[in-house]
Structure 1
Amino acid sequence: MTKWLSAFLSEIDEAVSEDVEHQVDNRLKQQNTYFWVDSTPVSVASSKQVLPTIGRINLAYTPPEYRRKGYATTCVAALSQKLLDQGCRHCFLIADLANSTANHIYQAIGYRPLSDWHEYSFTSKQ
């Protein structure tokens, strides 16, 4: 999981911090991270119930060697259904608009775009 989380953070251009192991420990302790297994783990998704009736998928990752086989679709769909079964009336996730594969997957399992989000970073010039 540590290797997968580091790879996920690198792919989404987030800084890979030294505390990846701590992040993994927290996810596993919270029991909100789920692996899709096909004789070996092939995909992972994590969630959080942010309000009593709203759940969020906050991580979805499949290593390159397992992509394009439907694992991510099945993993995210199953976790979304689990949130609904636990009483959430709504599930959401944030997806990169530039990732057409992920956006296609999410829409295929019932997610729909609601709004765009832009993130800006400002640095001082010295």
Structure 2
Amino acid sequence: MLLDHGSVVVCGALGRQAAPCICGAVSQSSSARDGAVSADVVALYGGVTFWETPNGEPVSMAGVTPQSTGQVRAAPVFTPEHPRGHGYAGAVTAEVSRTAVTAGAAHVVLFTDLANPTSNAFHQRIGYRKVVDFAVRGFGD
């Protein structure tokens, strides 16, 4: 565990209802609208993990897709604005990544924002490495 306070809560298939404030914010975020894996998708099979503060408040979440051909995608990872900057997203990302590898995933994939050097440096510290850059282009409506 990367933080000395708080804990991981793995939710079952009803994970979306466990912290609607976070899941609702994920649905409204720009990454969700741009086609990222949604909280609804990972909640359908129980792939949602929350980081909770010692008082039981869910402050960050990470989802994982079902394993396919030895690969799991960690997504979405989200922390609402008010608790950002405390390492919660990093802790929950590390936990879902570790859990995926322990469960037999040969590869855990994570898409990041190249404009965020803080999260990118953290991801490298926990074992992720840059493989390729992607760009999304829109063509009309």
1:4 aligned to 2:22?
yes
- TM-score w.r.t. the length of structure 2 is 0.71
Residue 113 of structure 1, CA deviation: 0.6
CA deviation string 1:3-57 (max 9, x = no partner): 43443354435539xxxxxx65553231001111112101100001342421110
- Distance in 2 separating the partners of 1:15 and 1:50: 24
Give unmatched runs, 5+ long, in structure 1: 17-22
- Distance in 2 separating the partners of 1:36 and 1:14: 20
Identify the match of residue 121 of structure 2 among 96, 104, 113: 104
Greater RCO (Cα-Cα under 8 Å, separation 6 or more)? 2
- Distance in 1 separating the partners of 2:122 and 2:27: 20
Contact 1:2–1:24 (CA under 8 A) maintained in structure 2: no
- Distance in 2 separating the partners of 1:43 and 1:13: 16
- Distance in 2 separating the partners of 1:118 and 1:52: 25
Identity %, equivalent residues: 28
Identify the match of residue 36 of structure 1 among 51, 74, 94: 51
- TM-score w.r.t. the length of structure 1 is 0.79
Contact 1:56–1:91 (CA under 8 A) maintained in structure 2: yes
CA deviation string 1:54-101 (max 9, x = no partner): 111021001122111111111000000110110012111111212223
Matches within 5 A, 1:68-87: 68-87=85-104
Give unmatched runs, 5+ long, in structure 2: 1-18
Q: Is the radius of gyration larger for structure 1 or structure 2?
A: 1
